[in-house]
Chains A and B, each alone.
Chain A
Amino acid sequence: MEKIATREAYGRALVDLGRLERRIVVLDADLSKSTKTEYFAKEFPERFFNMGIAEQNLMGTAAGLALAGKIPFASTFAVFAAGRAYDQIRNTIAYPRLNVKIAATHAGLSVGEDGASHQALEDIALMRALPNMTVIVPADAEETRQAVKAAAEHYGPVYLRLGRMNVPRIYGNDYRFILGKADWLRRGHMATIIACGLMVAEALRAQEMLAAQGLEVGVLNMSTIKPLDREAVMEAAETGAIVTAEEHNVVGGLGSAVAEALVEMKPVPMKRVGVQDVFGESGSAEELLTKYGLTAGAILEAVKEVIRRK
């Protein structure tokens, strides 16, 4: 099966969008080859602005462009987008509710060899805590393609979290991404795995392995983390046990968002698969995902544990 990185799908989607919509402008911070905004830059040089290695200025400039009616997509690595430019995003984009799309690539451990300084494991938490912000973590190329379009059509700040690594295809073009709606990929009555990003593929593998052992569990792709699809979380709670899976610190990310909704609506046994409140390190993406327990196997164990606790 052909694997493709969500950043690659983003780069291509931007070009399509640029053809349809003249208000789309793209900004980068000296990483256009990596974030794949270089495709847009090549096609529409007059609507592309390289701000250099200056992420705070990147966000501020995007805010100005949005203020004047443009639809800016601002891209850099997730650590520098969400981290370095946090106050600019908070005070000059989210607070005035400007129509800026922050497309942050190289999120998570799957950055690999560059190590901890480049592995954003807290960006979902940071962005999720901002009023007005929409947070999307697409699971594959097709979902990314549609999410980019949906982000452009939605008025307001959006944080799109994208990855460096090639990931398996989950959706065909018959899929329809709806902002704020989770997607039930599998139904099962014994527990539900709620996942986002590259962990959706792992969740599907875990589901198969569990099914082979006679355990029927559902898989819910929570690609919009904010606003959270609370109805879908309620439905998941009906299965009596929940495991979340994310390429992010378990503090403040998808697992936290789901837990917050659950305790207020219908608490059930739950376990969060994710990075356990530590920084990452250098290594290949595969090695790191294994070492930090971001695998189908780890999800499987977590599911068995929550089922036992039912």
Chain B
Amino acid sequence: MLQEKARLIRQDIVRMIGAAGSGHPGGSLSGVEIVTALYFHVLRHDPRRPDWPERDRFILSKGHAAPLLYAALAESGYFPKEELWTLRRLGSRLQGHPDCKSLPGVEISTGSLGQGLAVANGLALAGRLDGRDYRVYVLLGDGELEEGMVWEAAMAAAHYNLDKVMAFVDHNHLQIDGRVEEVMSPEPVAEKFRSFGWHVIEIDGHDFRQILAAVEEARRTSGRPTVAVAETVKGKGVSFMENQVDWHGVAPKPEQVARALAELES
């Protein structure tokens, strides 16, 4: 079931960005299993009540992967799927980067990298004050880890024992200007989080079993936040996009969309 959802979401992403003529396929595709697992197995949420106070929250800190979030929201029923094809158009609720004022299900506007984890901390602190038990999940890019603010927030999450916060690092080893290890290495990622006081789990970010097991482990971990450092492939699922830095922020042309969709049929 999750596998099938992931396939649909990949198709949505490719078609959406193809129709828009611009957007970020690589980092949308690398996070598909993580986001699919969250929306279709993990999150306590109700698409008919996006403002339900008890809902679990998901924050797409790497906001340029908006097509991934939009596909998951549409497949969940937050808005009609047809709306996906309006991505990035004038007047669309599907802005180039997620806009929480326009689209139900978007918890916070993102697009300026590095800011999502702090917001998650704020939500978790509020949940604690209000006696609510919702959990907050965040998806970070590995290039995004270069922002100092990520580490300010990492420090704060551990300091305040925010065990309702779980972060995923989409560790696809690419940013815009090249491999993260070459542009500005965030390595060793797992050890950094560990030394910041986090519970760290290293997983294959395309393996649902490992993703779900990590979520379970995070639930059982009290007193500290958990991060799953997820090994992923940028452009995953579309052969000609996989591990290609040039597919970070370029839209596929119609014939490329067709090829990608054909690959995603089987």
Residues of A at the B interface (CB closer than 8 Å) are: 28, 30-34, 50-54, 56-57, 79-80, 83-84, 112-118, 281-284, 287-288, 291
Contact = CB atoms under 8 A, between A and B. Distances in A.
Contacts of B147: 53-54
B96 A282 contact: yes
Contact of A284 (B63, B90, B97, B99): B90
Interface string B144-176: 101110000000000000000000000000011
B88 A54 contact: no
Given A31-B177, A53-B114, A284-B90, A117 B97 contact: yes
A117 B110 contact: yes
B92 interface: yes
B126 interface: no
Interface residues on B, range: 20 to 34
B183 interface: yes
B175 A281 contact: no
Contacts of B89: 282-283
A32 to B, nearest CB: 5
B125 interface: no
Interface of B: 20-23, 63, 88-92, 94-97, 99, 109-114, 143-144, 146-148, 175-177, 180, 183-184
B120 to A, nearest CB: 18
Contacts of A80: 112
Contacts of A116: 95, 97, 99
Contact of B90 (A28, A79, A281): A281
A113 B113 CA distance: 17
Contact of A117 (B21, B90, B112): B112
Nearest to B178: A50
A282 B177 contact: no
Contacts of B94: 282
Contact of B95 (A50, A54, A281): A281
14 contacts: A50-B183, A52-B143, A52-B184, A53-B114, A53-B147, A54-B147, A57-B148, A83-B112, A113-B96, A114-B96, A118-B111, A282-B92, A282-B95, A283-B91
A118 B177 contact: no
B184 A50 contact: yes
Given A32-B177, A57-B148, 10 more contacts: A30-B146, A34-B176, A50-B177, A52-B143, A53-B143, A53-B146, A115-B97, A117-B110, A282-B94, A283-B89
